[in-house]
Amino acid sequence: MPRPSKKPFGQDGKALDGVRILDFTHVQSGPTCTQLLAWFGADVIKVERPGVGDITRGQLVDVKGADSLYFTMLNHNKRSITIDSKHPQGKRVLDELIKSCDVLVENFAPGALDRMGLTWEHIHKLNPRMIVASVKGFGPGPYEDCKVYENVAQCTGGAASTTGFRDGPPLVTGAQIGDSGTGLHLALGIVAALYQRNRTGRGQKVLAAMQDGVLNLARVKLRDQQRLQHGPLTEYSQYGEGVPFGDATPRAGNDSGGGQPGWILKCKGWEEDPNAYIYFITQAPVWGAICDLIGEPTWKTDPEYATPKARLPKLKAIFARIEEWTMTKTKFEVMNLCNEVDIPVGPILSMKEIAEDESLRKTGTVVEVDHPVRGKYLTVGNPIKLSDSISEVKRSPLLGEHTDEILTKVLGLDKKTVAEIKASGALSAPEKADKAA
């Protein structure tokens, strides 16, 4: 092991300095992964289809002529090169990139990488140290050839069947647990594979299937599935309401996930403001403080309310009483009063409130970035803070912005070769290629 650095923390490079990523990702899941790696210091070279690029550049466009926020918010700190991966000269460039990168990350439809000729065997022959990391919708099995988007994964990973209210349909959540969640899983797999490579000297394949990633995040619901065999789930409010359980983990509305009952309660202004609510947890150790705060001090000793077990069948009524109190205050007043006595609560923050939150700006979790075409915009910075590997958020690249730089500085190609490859049309959109030819 090297001796501990004498440089001040935050001034001795970044965690993934020296790691170069061949980024073949698109849409959301893969780009989330490579963006994280870039924030940790990896040199991420994003390969995009000439003329078009990552399809998200042109999706949900809000400023005409500028890359969409969908794209800019998922591709910070990367460099962009355009290559037609099916063109012979494009393949030649890709082979050179494979030789000079540590990790190839992709999230194409199943089989697409092979159809480009970039099989594991081909890659591994060119560069035995290369780690090949993929997001796919499903792991090996009956659905392995399927194309998958976010909500498909939420549904097949067990999240949708356990989200929503008992008497309503399954629901998907706004948090992108299928795409961004799987990107996170893949990033961890890549870092683990890089670590193993230090010992073995060879790369390996890393697969994060979206169904698996969602299920991993929904694991407490598989826990409940097994608990059901031993009796009703007493912390679910349907238990207190006397509604029998079926044979699968039910949707639990806004019940708390763990053994500490919770619910979303109205606060002052709820009639006009759709987010004037707070999540309130009746954590057992602070039950006395809750009783004092809402003006029910006798509940502290009344055997009907004093123990968690006695309270379980009456949760609906108890939360209705707490709500009478929360409705007299704003969500932030409730939060302040509860925090003073250690009651865990969470105000329902709108995206507007989050965008304006000063503390999130100070930590770099919400960042303002300048872009040459769209101007200033807000983004989410690196949510993982390393004290010795400080993240800076750099704007996403324009399509093909770094093509020349990568050909000459990364691959070391001379001017003549670069001109030859360009003239072949392998790096430009078809109409430009026609002109060049």
Give the residues across from 264 on adjacent strands: 279
Q: Which residue has the tokens 């007043």?
A: 333
Separation between Cα atoms, residue 323 and residue 326, nearest integer Å = 5
**Binding of ligand CAO at residue 109 (CB under 6 A)?**
yes
**Binding of ligand CAO at residue 149 (CB under 6 A)?**
yes
- Shortest distance, CB of residue 133 to ligand CAO, whole angstroms? 12
Which residue, 291, 283, 289, 325, is CA-closest to 308? Answer: 283
With contact defined as beta carbons under 8 Å apart, do 406 and 399 qualify? no
- Indicate the residue whose CB is closest to ligand CAO: 109
With contact defined as beta carbons under 8 Å apart, do 377 and 365 qualify? no
Contact residue for ligand CAO among 136, 221, 311, 331 (CB under 6 A): 136
Max Cα distance, the chain (Å): 88
**Binding of ligand CAO at residue 150 (CB under 6 A)?**
yes
Contact residue for ligand CAO among 148, 186, 281, 291 (CB under 6 A): 148
Neighbours of 137 (CB within 10 A): 23
**Binding of ligand CAO at residue 107 (CB under 6 A)?**
yes
- Shortest distance, CB of residue 398 to ligand CAO, whole angstroms? 16
Give the residues across from 46 on adjacent strands: 23, 80
Q: Give the residue numbers marked as catalytic.
A: 179
User: Site residues for ligand CAO, window 156-195 (CB under 6 A)?
Assistant: 179
Is 172 annotated to bind a ligand? Reply is no
With contact defined as beta carbons under 8 Å apart, do 127 and 203 qualify? yes
User: Site residues for ligand CAO, window 33-62 (CB under 6 A)?
Assistant: 47, 49
Q: Nearer to ligand CAO by C-beta: 85 or 238?
A: 85
Separation between Cα atoms, residue 140 and residue 297, nearest integer Å = 58
Report DSSP state, residue 132: E
With contact defined as beta carbons under 8 Å apart, do 81 and 45 qualify? yes
Instruction: With contacts defined by CB under 6 A, name the span among 147-155, 229-237, 409-417, 428-436 that binds ligand CAO.
Output: 147-155
Is 147 annotated to bind a ligand? Reply is yes
Q: Which residues bind ligand CAO (CB under 6 A)?
A: 27-30, 47, 49, 83-86, 107-109, 112, 115-116, 135-137, 147-150, 179
Question: Binding site residues, as ranges?
Answer: 28-29, 49, 107-109, 115, 147-150, 258-260
Question: Binding site residues for substrate, as ranges?
Answer: 258-260
